[in-house]
Amino acid sequence: MTRTVFIEGSCQIGGRIAPSRVTVRAGLCDPGSSGDAVWRLARDEILIPAFHDHHTHLIGTFRPPQGPDLGGSATRQECLDRVARWLRDHPGTAPIVAEGWDQSDWDDPRLPTRAEIDRVSARRPIAMRRVCGHMAVVNSAAWDRIRPSGAEADPATGTLTESYALGIPARWPPTPEDLLEGARNGQEAAGRAGVVAIDEMARSEQWRAFRRLDDDGGLWLRVNHAFPLDSLDSLASDGISAGSGGARVRAAGLKGFLDGSIGARTAAIGGSYLDHDGAGMLLWEEGRLVDAVRRGSRAGFAIRLHAIGARAIALALRALDQAAAAASGEPHCVEHAEELDPDLIARAARAGIAFSMQPNFTARWQQPGGLYDRALGPDRARRLNPYRAVAAATPLLFGSDTMPFGPLFGIAGALAHPDPAERLSAVEAIAAYAAGPIAAGRPADLVVLRVPGGDLAASLSSGTARIRWTAARGRTVWRDPSAEIPDDFLEGSAA
């Protein structure tokens, strides 16, 4: 028998928060007026739409590590010390991939060097990847394995950028069992974060891990998978086409990297960096990019182009303007799109192109005195990520890029943009991150958020808001053990 349940209290319906009653029946929000159970929210609780993270690397973030976590390291030496401890605790010969360091947090932002890592170990391959993935420093053993050359490799320092740095996980891949564990761990983290759907930017190995979890009956998370832009032929050989998969895992997109990151000073910006020679890198030749975009879009995939700097965004828009519509009807996207101006926004709007942006970059690097100020200067840094201008013109989608994973951190960034004119309201920021509105006939993808004092914006800005309950299509997928939730809601409301 299908049960109908009600949630009463403060709810985000449309563009406002007001007292309301949301009915859930058979996994959908339902207009029915009679039901079996009622959950009356506390005064400091608000029902909001559950989240869709539109840009993740969930399995890569939550699989068993191949090296120490360098996130939060305060100095270059602390990174090296963590690697040395890992070596002592994990003897062997397998390559070590240590990830997560961010020199923008250090008083002395000089990078580790090949010679310094060699003093930790010169025999076992070691790669230390920056948090963005667009830069790595390796020791001599790793350098000899990779054999890099060209502009993306500096033999004197052991620094690798772009294709070499991004390619390290494919060169030294985790096992299928580790990837499956990453899918399980990532899904658990998603529930805790109020996320019920993701756009996963990864390779076919991660696709297979999510498919395995789904085949085993263990997947509730909805996964739109975006494969590398240049993998169309190999996908066809593997029998993967646009829309392949099922209700929970779907082959949805193709993603290409057009430039790097501001942290690595490889984003193809307009102008030049203040603290680094050059203006970044364009990673695709335009003719080749247009051909790849045309082929991918004609095959029915949504095209997702990583473009942070203005020159890369302009290239992305020129290529996407020639793309056929995706089979799913979803818009093609420019990913990140940090250095936007009114002309670029208008061009995207005319072509129906969406921007998938990361407000956690604002929270982490765009505040006064931060990384972006040092790289570009305060005036140029302040103009990055113009959320309100984008939202007024074309679809604005929010994602985390798992730096870090979790919408609440990013939403705080959207509320605290250094330019007050570009700040979003709490309701607007949640809507950009939402899996869909709370409305009759829509999936019951819901989150109960605890906001101390009942002030949503203040709680999100201060970091005191907490997820209490997450439901995917009416089914409870995570609950705070301390939350007072009626028993009828704990097993989910769908038959």
Confidence label for 493 from pLDDT (cuts 50, 70 and 90): very low
Half-sphere exposure for 286 (CA within 13 Å, toward CB) = 11
Q: What does the pLDDT average to over 457-483? A: 94
> What pLDDT was estimated at residue 334?
98
Question: Cα separation of 309 and 358, whole Å?
Answer: 14
Average pLDDT over residues 335-355: 97
Residues 151-198: tens digit of each pLDDT: 999 999 999 999 999 999 999 999 999 999 999 999 999 999 999 999
pLDDT digits (tens, 9 = 90+) for 402-426: 999 999 999 999 999 999 999 999 9
pLDDT of 245 > 50? The answer is yes
SS3 for the chain, per residue? CCCEEEEEEEEEECCEEEEEEEEEECCEECCCCCCCEEEECCCCEEEEECEEEEEECHHHHHCCCCCCECCCCCCHHHHHHHHHHHHHHCCCCCCEEEEEECHHHCCCCCCCCHHHHHHHCCCCCEEEEECCCCEEEECHHHHHHHCCCCCCEECCCCEEEHHHHHCHHHHCCCCHHHHHHHHHHHHHHHHHCCEEEEEEECCHHHHHHHHHHHHCCCCCCEEEEEEEHHHHHHHHHCCCCCCCECCCEEEEEEEEECCCCCCCCCCCCCCCCCCCCCCCCCCCCHHHHHHHHHHHHHCCCEEEEEECCHHHHHHHHHHHCCCCCCCCCCCCEEEECCCCCHHHHHHHHHHCCEEEECHHHHHHHCCCCCHHHHHHCHHHHHCCCCHHHHHCCCCEEECCCCCCCCHHHHHHHHHCCCCHHHCCCHHHHHHHHECCCCCCCCECCEEEEECHHHCHHHHHHHCCCEEEEEEECCEEEEECCCCCCCHHHHCCCCC
Among 62, 297, 9, smallest CA distance to 183 is for 62
C-alpha 376/C-alpha 149 separation (Å) is 28
Q: Which residues, 6+ apart, have CB-to-CB distance to 174 below 8 Å?
A: 63, 64, 66, 182
Q: Does domain 4-49+441-490 have CATH number 3.40.50.300?
A: no
Q: To 5 degrees, how large is the angle CA 294–CA 162–CA 129?
A: 135
d(C-alpha 288, C-alpha 318), whole Å? 12
Give the right CATH number for 65-171 from 3.50.50.100, 3.60.15.10, 3.10.310.70, 3.40.50.740.
3.10.310.70
Contact 49, 447 (CB under 8 A): yes
Question: Average pLDDT in the 448-476 region?
Answer: 95
Q: Which residues pair with 397 in a beta bridge?
A: 356
Report the pLDDT value the prediction gives residue 5, as an integer from 0 to 100.
Answer: 85
Q: Write down the domain spans for the chain.
A: 4-49+441-490, 65-171, 176-433
Please report which confidence band the pLDDT of residue 491 belongs to, taking 50, 70 and 90 as the band edges: low
For residue 349, pLDDT beyond 50: yes
Burial zone of 44 (CB within 10 Å; 0-12 exposed, 13-18 middle, 19+ buried): middle
Residue 263's φ and ψ, nearest 5 degrees, are: -60, -35
Cα–Cα dist 198/221, whole Å:
8
Q: Is residue 492 over pLDDT 90?
A: no
Residue appearing with tokens 């395995």: 212
User: What homologous superfamily does CATH list for 176-433?
Assistant: Metal-dependent hydrolases (3.20.20.140)
pLDDT digit string, tens, across residues 98-111: 999 999 889 998 99
